[in-house]
Homo-oligomer: A and B are copies of this chain.
């Protein structure tokens, strides 16, 4: 039943995602029309260079390099160009001219999200962004709608496919970080400058978006604590495996209550590599896949798993948003805007308690364990497990201590590490890594 005028769709960008969105709109024209109740007309596709090669065939008469007329005439604008500018300006232009906007641009949302959402609210337009976090995985809509009557306690996500691929290869084959990065580059998972991925910047952007949704709070990117995977060694991987763990780069968004030592409450948003037990559902997320593990008060543990990137996969998420936006044009309705603003404080990493696993190379002499244990006790860091091993190398015996702690603050742990470093009993600290999901 087509009961409404055709809706004009402007597509900004024709790269790996955009060209697939164009294809899906054109190929599924009849089905989309039946589903929405109105025809979805691809009005034009904004590109930088008309002659560039595209992954799919876009009719030449749709291609344009002029954004203004395209945006002005559109009911719905899809932004899949990436980058901050001109994407930001064009989205603002679209919102101000009354269009709903769908974007897959996590960098823009993480840095200018509140500006865009404010404008959208002022003009009564909708801003959809399912594709901006975890590619094809429907995570934004469940957070905004399905769990709307529940309270989210914690989100733990593998939200960067490239680093998950690298860590997975290190775990399953024993190769070094450098070798795994070379493989990832070869497969096109890493850019020429890989730091966006391996230093955790990409994951931090997604963490900021997830936290702002889960806790109805603006999360500035600079308040997201971030460590990348560049210091992870194959020895750490092997040790984790031996103990029943795997190392993953986690984006964690958590509600933090006041406790006996701290009167402030708020949220923590952080990205770092951590050991998680092999039985944890996130441990089985292999290759370049993404997954978001959510703990909610009533729903308990949930996990959303799928492809975190890829042109056609991300295009699927854009299409879901497009159908929602188009249906709302036809039938009206509340849209997705959240009316609750909690404005919780984003707490610094020093406020967080986690478990740690610390590996030390120590002198193989009596009393060493007691000395090391004293250092932990001195800073009130409680030890949960100790494993001792020794090896004869060229007539010298070297001993290792692998110490697992109970929950400890970042600050206390840093003090322990500093004192261990200056201790005569300790020859080298070979690994300090957090443990999550236990």
Top 9 closest pairs, chain A to chain B, by CB: A333-B333, A149-B319, A138-B146, A331-B334, A299-B316, A298-B316, A303-B305, A136-B299, A302-B306
The answer to whether A279 has its CB under 8 Å from any CB of chain B is: yes
CB distance from A45 to the nearest CB of B (A): 17
- Tell me whether chain A's interface is mostly helix, strand or loop, or mixed: mixed
- The interface residues of chain B lying within 8 Å CB-to-CB of A141 are 138, 141-142, 145-146
Q: Show 20 residue pairs from A and B whose CB-CB distance is below 8 angstroms, ordered by the A residue.
A: A24-B149, A24-B298, A28-B151, A136-B299, A136-B302, A141-B141, A141-B142, A145-B320, A146-B317, A149-B322, A281-B305, A299-B313, A300-B306, A300-B307, A300-B313, A303-B303, A303-B304, A331-B332, A331-B334, A331-B335
CB distance from A132 to the nearest CB of B (A): 14
Closest residue of B by beta carbon distance from A330: B334
The answer to whether A20 has its CB under 8 Å from any CB of chain B is: yes
Interchain CB contact (< 8 A) of A298 among B32, B136, B142, B339: B136
CB distance from A231 to the nearest CB of B (A): 28
The answer to whether A338 has its CB under 8 Å from any CB of chain B is: yes
Q: Given known contacts A136-B299, A302-B306, A315-B298, is B320 in contact with A32 (CB within 8 Å)?
A: no
- The interface residues of chain B lying within 8 Å CB-to-CB of A32 are 149
Closest residue of B by beta carbon distance from A141: B146
Interface size range of chain A in the complex? 35 or more
C-alpha gap A303/B293 in the complex (Å): 11
The answer to whether A34 has its CB under 8 Å from any CB of chain B is: yes
The answer to whether A108 has its CB under 8 Å from any CB of chain B is: no
Q: Given known contacts A298-B24, A306-B302, A312-B298, is B284 in contact with A319 (CB within 8 Å)?
A: no
- The interface residues of chain B lying within 8 Å CB-to-CB of A305 are 281, 301-305
Apart from A35-B340, A149-B318: 9 A-B pairs, beta carbons within 8 A: A28-B149, A36-B339, A148-B319, A148-B323, A148-B324, A149-B322, A298-B312, A299-B307, A299-B313
Closest residue of B by beta carbon distance from A320: B146
CB distance from A101 to the nearest CB of B (A): 16
Interchain CB contact (< 8 A) of A149 among B137, B284, B316, B330: B316
C-alpha gap A37/B319 in the complex (Å): 29
What does the 1/0 interface line of A136-157 toward B look like (CB < 8 Å)? 1110011001111111000000
User: Does the CB pair B299–A317 fall under 8 Å?
Assistant: yes
C-alpha gap A32/B306 in the complex (Å): 31
- The interface residues of chain B lying within 8 Å CB-to-CB of A322 are 149
User: Does the CB pair B300–A339 fall under 8 Å?
Assistant: no
C-alpha gap A210/B114 in the complex (Å): 37
- The interface residues of chain B lying within 8 Å CB-to-CB of A307 are 299-302
The answer to whether A379 has its CB under 8 Å from any CB of chain B is: no
User: Does the CB pair A304–B304 fall under 8 Å?
Assistant: yes
The answer to whether A223 has its CB under 8 Å from any CB of chain B is: no
- The interface residues of chain B lying within 8 Å CB-to-CB of A36 are 339
The answer to whether A232 has its CB under 8 Å from any CB of chain B is: no
The answer to whether A66 has its CB under 8 Å from any CB of chain B is: no
Q: Given known contacts A150-B320, A330-B334, is B301 in contact with A306 (CB within 8 Å)?
A: yes
The answer to whether A296 has its CB under 8 Å from any CB of chain B is: yes
C-alpha gap A285/B147 in the complex (Å): 22
